[in-house]
Structures are given as structure tokens and as C-alpha cells.
A and B are shown apart, each in its own frame.
Chain A
Amino acid sequence: MTGPYGVGIGWRPEIAGFVAELPGLRFVEVVAESVPATGPLPPGLAQLRERAVTVVPHGVRLSLGGAEPVEPARVAHLAAVAQRVDAPLVSEHIAFVRAGGLEAGHLLPLPRSREAVDAVCANVARAQADLPVPIALEPIAALVDWPDDELDEADFLTEILDRTGALLLLDVANLHANARNRGTDPLALLDRLPLDRVGYVHVAGGAEHSGFYHDTHTDPVPPAVLELVGALCARRRPPALLLERDGDYPPAAQLRAELDALAAAANFPPVT
């Protein structure tokens, strides 16, 4: 149960064969809701555990930012998966995914308000009470902004991390997407985030559609995102970087090249 280290990749059934053959791999992340709480583990994942590869469960449907209390059954599932894979930590998002009885089907942003900070901190505390390991919280990429923010992004995130004691799962692609779509400077935000709290870092690809940069996870990692990885590491190198790819899987050589580029940008040993 070692913490995430080095360059990792999001484990998905579609690329399980590719991931299994990465000789230097020490760390993967798995979507927590896709792992059953009982019964056999997905085959590729079980083999990675046998190789002592660290597996971090990544929740996507807890809705920690929802105004309603987080559903205990969802926390219990995340806790069970963490125990099954002997995870050193779990992660989730600063976001909500349902409200008023409707599923959004995606991560939606919170208003940067005191009320929202209170709501997310209360839900994180509820989750922490039932989780066997620490939780890392990930700020999301969002196209919409609420009209009445009381805090800026850095203060909003720092306050949530301070009050919950949670780790930060920093997504460099989200940082790029938000800055690009809002016309702000991602480095200025980096300078104000508590980088000593970073548990690990997400990196992913995206693409432009009708005037917006979308964090698709189905496109190559753009150079600007790799440059941000370098800028982050120049300030403080995180313990681990994880490549997220969720579809339109490229040929293995291309995926290996992306992993190598991450390793080079952060001066980690290559895993390929």
C-alpha cells in the first residue's frame, strides 16, 4: 500500500492488455463505480495487484458538492473498493452530478460561495468518516461559471482543503481548460494553490469545439498541457502523474509516447 509514485495511467477494461504490459508501471487509477464491491476483481486489475502496482479508486458519482448529504451507499462502495485493492488513498471531485432528482451525467461546477464551501466540506466530512484511507479532491474543468461567486478559484479550493484536511488531486488539463475558456492565466492560479497538498496529478487530452476547449479524455495531450506539467514540476514536483484516457484509444505506440512525454516533462523514470 505505497502511495502513488511516478507516471501512471487510468486503468480501463479497453486498454487492460496495454496497461498489463507496461514494465515500469507502479501506479494506476480505476473508476471506483466500475469495480464491484464483491465477487472477482476485473482480471487485469487483479494481476496488477499481484505485481504490487498501487491502485487508487477514483469516484465519479458521489456528488460531494451536492446540497444534499452524500448517499451513504455510494461512500460505502468507495470504501469497499479501497479495501479490496488495498488503496493508499481514494479520490473524488469538487463537483455535483445530480440535483432535484435528475442525473446530470457529468461533473458540474459549484458556485464559489460560502454556502457551497459549507456543503462540500460537510459531504467530505461524511465521506471521510466512513473511508478507510485519505481522500484527494479534484477541481474540475467547467465551461459554465455561476453568476455570483464570492471567492476566487484559489481561495475556494484552499478553503475546502484546509477545512477538510483532504489532499489535492490537481488536474493540469482542467487547469488548462478553465484558463483557456475563461481567458485567465493558469500559472497565476498554480502560484496560489497549496502544491504541498498534491496527492497526485491528472493529465489528459482535449480538443476545441465551437470556441471552447473541451477536456475530452479522448484526444491527444496538447503541448500546452505538457508545458503546464513542466511549470508545475518547476514549482514543486508532485509525487505522481496519471494519464487519463477514456475512449478513442490510439495505437499502443502513441499511448506509450504520451506516457514517455509525461515522464520526460516531470523527470520521472519511463514506465514503457
Chain B
Amino acid sequence: MTGASPPAGNGPLPAGGLAQRQAELVAALVAGGPPPAGFAPAPLAATRAALLRKRAGEVARHWPLLAAGLGAGWPSTFAGWAANRPTVGSLRDGWDLARALREQGALPPAGVEELVVRESRLRYDGRSAPRPRRLPAVARAGGAVAVQIAGRVRLLRPAPRPPAARSAGGDGVPDAAGSAAWISD
């Protein structure tokens, strides 16, 4: 780093202008694109992992009950889902993941409740930014029911919890249970 002359290149320079090469690097990091020519693999992999950790933290801030419900499994669950999916914003990322987990029957009760509360308040088509619902709405998933009237949301019925989960807290993540009264975003 202190040498006066620039480092000599090993072999031909990668093709393409700055815009194209920046796009290739971002695609490799967040969208499962091929590694750009000439980049060392280990730092690329470490950067990819660090980005996923950071994203998981940001999505957890928007979806605290989803993340807490998954407990110690949150980082790996999120990373497995997000590895080749570029972010569309933390709110939508968490929403898409919650729906995917619901379809697999893998959404924890706290996440179910968070999802129905959101879905009763906002209309989300999975492709563009969620918008407030103008009309009263009822959302149901996994036994949980939320109702929204004039923008106020109420969780009518919490998601059933398996007996083992009632004594939870063992994963060291707080706030997982006791979410029935939690409302709004």
C-alpha cells in the first residue's frame, strides 16, 4: 500500500466499463451472480456473509416477532432464504420470508401473529410497496386472526402454540412470546 508505483496487473484487465463491473460485483454479492473475474474468492464470500448478517439484523428490526419466534435459527433461516434474493427493502423482505415460511408450515406463532396484523393493515401484492387498506379487513393465518377497522388493528385470536414452546426463552432471544397484545408497526 505504500509503494510509489501502481501494482502490475497479472494478465489482461477485466472487460467492461465501471458501470458494468460494479453491476457484476453487486449481482455476485446479492443475487447469486457469478464471481467477477479477478476477485479473490474468500473475501467475496466473507463480504456476502457479512451483507446477509447485516440484512438479517435490519429485517429483524422491521419484523421483531418473526425473528424472535425463530430464535437462534433466525440468522441461518434468513440467510438461507435471502442468499440469492436482492433486497426489496426490509419490510418487504420480511413479509416475503414470512409468507414463504407460512406456506412451508414453518412460521412460528409469534411470526404468524405479526403477519396477520400486518396483512390486516396493509395490502401487499408481493411486487410493489405495501399500501394501507382503506376498508375494514380480517386477516387469518395459522389459527391467528387480526381485524382492522379504520386503521386500528386488533389481534382477535393469537396463534396456537405447541406445548413445548410455552416454556420458551431457552434460545436466549427475548420477546418471542406474549405477543398477543402487540399491535401496529
B-binding residues in A (CB < 8 A): 66-68, 96, 98-106, 108, 111, 113, 115-116, 119, 142-154, 179, 181-182, 184-185, 188-189, 192, 209-212, 214, 247
Contact = CB atoms under 8 A, between A and B. Distances in A.
10 contacts: A100-B20, A101-B23, A103-B30, A105-B30, A108-B26, A119-B18, A144-B39, A144-B40, A148-B38, A151-B6
Contacts of B55: 105
Nearest to A118: B18
> Size range of the interface on B?
35 or more
A143 B43 contact: yes
A175 to B, nearest CB: 11
B128 interface: no
Given A99-B22, A144-B43, 17 more contacts: A67-B17, A67-B19, A99-B26, A100-B24, A102-B86, A104-B29, A104-B51, A105-B30, A142-B47, A143-B47, A145-B43, A148-B13, A148-B38, A149-B6, A179-B1, A185-B2, A211-B46
Interface in B1-41: 1-3, 6-7, 9-10, 13-14, 17-27, 29-31, 37-40
B87 interface: yes
B92 to A, nearest CB: 12
B14 A152 contact: no
Contact of B19 (A68, A108, A188): A68
A104 B30 contact: yes
B17 to A, nearest CB: 7
Interface in B112-131: none
Interface string B59-79: 000000000000000000000
Contact of A147 (B1, B37, B49): B37
B13 A103 contact: no
By secondary structure, the B interface counts as helix
Question: Which are the 7 A-B pairs with shortest beta-carbon distances?
Answer: A100-B23, A147-B38, A67-B19, A99-B22, A67-B18, A184-B1, A99-B23
Given A105-B55, A152-B1, A144 B47 contact: yes
A101 B26 CA distance: 9
B142 interface: no
A184 B46 CA distance: 19
A116 B1 contact: no
B42 interface: yes
Given A104-B26, A104-B51, A154-B1, A99 B40 contact: no
Contact of B42 (A113, A211, A247): A211
A106 B6 CA distance: 27
Given A105-B30, A212-B43, A154 B2 contact: yes
B46 A210 contact: yes
A104 B25 CA distance: 9
A37 to B, nearest CB: 19
Contacts of A247: 57
Contacts of A98: 26
Contacts of A116: 18
Contact of B54 (A68, A105, A149, A188): A105
Given A144-B39, A151-B6, A102 B14 contact: no
